[in-house]
Structure 1
Amino acid sequence: MNPQEILLSIVFCFQTLLGMLGNSFLICLFILVFLTGHTLRPIDPILTQLAFANSLVLLCKGIPQTMAALGLKNFLDDGGCKTVFYLHRVARGLSLSMTCLLSGFQAITISPRVSRWAELKARIPKYITATCVSCWTFYLLFCITVIENIKGPGSSRNSSDTHQYEYCFASVKTKEYRILSTFIFSLPDAMCVSFLVLASGYMVLLLSRHQKQVQHIHKTSHSSSRVSHEIRATQAILLQASAFVCFYSLNSILVAYMHSRNPILGLVQCSAFLASCFPTVSPFLLICTDSQVLRYYGGLWPRNVALFNLSVCPSWA
């Protein structure tokens, strides 16, 4: 095993363990809050499903990539490759859709009561369950074609009709078919990214207007030297949006490029790393920017009641 393989295995292993730690914390926390009878916010089921989808992305991408970097190329059979790639594609789509649903829920929640969203704001908690079920159903059906195209290392193949992804292989169709499939699979990603940018821009605009309205209050208060809640909330939204757009846009470009030709090993590894970046950092961004998570933690363990008084970041609705 050469130093490059050792380094890659360490990077993928660390990324997977770190991401699983953060996402598992959120999942367990929300489950415990629910089981102990505490009242959950309407947004918490979305956060739980986002953490679960992120965990599935890390398991289906990080563990196989770590094993492949260690030199284990034939640890999956044909059924294993189909399952891993299918679950990863479904989880990736759910992570995208739940992030966009989270952003849309926030945008409607903080909108003024006199706006056109006022009526929807009161009813949106009733639509969350149905929307989440629709997202699950869509991606479970949308990603079925992955099962047909992915082959295991033991399948009969030749180098001219397959694309190699280290531990599995993808069937190569005609050029027209590859272009069409790339467009179809990229369409939901593009829609999610566009929606997130619009929703985040709308929230930033609302918070900026509100910050200007109360600017004179901050100037006369003793806490004028501290960063206002509006500015911190704006920074948190920009941080989430930037991470989302950056990682998934770069990964989508790489995936589209690899679908158009036989991918080289370096691009496959880079794409795998980028695909796991947002699921890794997302739970820590959520913990940092949502002070209600700390309040839940403090409520479950009275010794940590001091966390109730923390004002590290603004609480989401």
Structure 2
Amino acid sequence: MLSLKHVYFFQTSIGILANGLFLIFHIFSVNQFHRPKPTDITTCHLAFVHIVMLLITLYVLSEDMFQLLNFLNEFQCKLLFYLSRVTRGLSISTTCLLSIIQVITISPGSFCLSRFKHKLKSYTIFAFFCLWCLNLSANSYVIIYTVAHSNRTNLLNVSKYCSLFSMNSVITTLLLTLGLTQSGLFVGMMLLSSMCMVVFLCSHQRKSEYLHSMSISSRISPVKHATRTVLLLVSFFVIMYCLDIMISSFSTTLWKYEPVVLDIQRMVRNIYATVSPVVLISSNKRLIELLHNVNDMITILK
């Protein structure tokens, strides 16, 4: 149990560091080299959401924190559990938005969504507003039903110090249906976007092979590279999400606090938040060059 917690602390710390570095260096490189694109804004938003998510889970991991701050325990439970649900929803929806933006970016003129290309940045900002409103409102029930842990029997323990009131079957079914519908819609759009990206990539590949033009190949290559990165992120997210659903279903049927199960579930949920910035950094040549330059400066200063 202790070793599992150490692994979880290490994973969360690496995730916070990786997302922080990606956010800082990406903002710097965008200002330095070019105007921000919709994909730049979206990946920065994703990194910010993951930083908040990992900070919350790192705080929750410190079990003694609630004992040291024994005032406002119920407020802390409501706030932390609410924010954890909101950021998790934003992680799903932002990844979905990133895949849709990439589809629009590489789509040919005949594609139905290609008309959004010219105003894609303004649509992206509006989409962020909608996603925040959706996730803040969809998880508002958590504020009502989350309480500090007590000895009452009608509670579902979600951590050592926080619990959820058991709801009647109608409310439970309604909330579960809405949650699964929302998540299923985003995952479905990710899969549909991935299919479109694969089709467009194959189309670009056939055209470049037919034309045998070096100029066209060099122009398309960065787009193909970015599209493959988004495809990798979406595929990895869907796998981790399905694994999380299976663990979540198992822990819900237990209806009691199982530290090992909950720790494993948190670890699985945080894998995507930890791995995604590493994938984004490794696929961005400007960021790699910037990191090399920073490393060279540090070496010179030493």
CA deviation digits over 1:136-181, x for unaligned, max 9? 122122211111111123xx44134333423311111223432332
Aligned residue number for residue 189 of structure 1: 183
Calculate percent identity across the aligned residue pairs.
26
2:3 pairs with 1, 7, 21, which one? Answer: 7
Where does 1:15-34 land on structure 2 (aligned, <5 Å)?
15-33=11-29
Aligned to 1:240: 233
The alignment of Structure 1 onto Structure 2 pairs a total of residues equal to 287
Q: Distance in 1 between matches of 2:168 and 2:50?
A: 33
TM-score (normalizing by structure 1): 0.79
Match of 2:91 among 73, 86, 95: 95
| Structure 1 equivalent of residue 156 of structure 2 | 162
Task: Select the residue among 52, 55, 64 that pairs with 2:51.
Answer: 55
1:133 aligned partner: 129
Cα displacement (A) at 1:29? 2.2
* TM-score, reference length from structure 2: 0.83
Aligned to 1:180: 174
Q: Show CA shifts across 1:236-288 (max 9, x none).
A: 34421221101122213333443455043332222111111111111111112
Match for 1:252 among 245, 252, 265? 245
Contact 2:154 2:165 in 1 (8 A): no
Cα distance in 2 for partners of 1:195, 1:30 equals: 27
CA contact (8 A) 1:16 1:63 kept: no
**What code does the residue aligned with 1:245 have?**
V
Equivalents in 1 of 2:56, 2:105: separation in Å? 34
Letter in 2 for 1:272: R
Residue of structure 1 in register with 2:218 after alignment = none
Change (3 A) 1:177 1:75: farther
Q: Which amino acid aligns with 1:22?
A: A
Cα RMSD (Å) of the superposition? Answer: 3.1
For residue 98 of structure 1, report the CA deviation from its aligned partner: 1.0
**1:187 Cα offset (Å):** 2.0
5+ long unaligned stretches in structure 1: 222-227, 305-317
Q: Is residue 271 of structure 1 aligned with residue 271 of structure 2?
A: no
SS at match of 2:59: helix
- Structure 1: how far apart are the matches of 2:126 and 2:166? 37
Contact 2:77-2:162 within 8 A present in 1 as well: yes
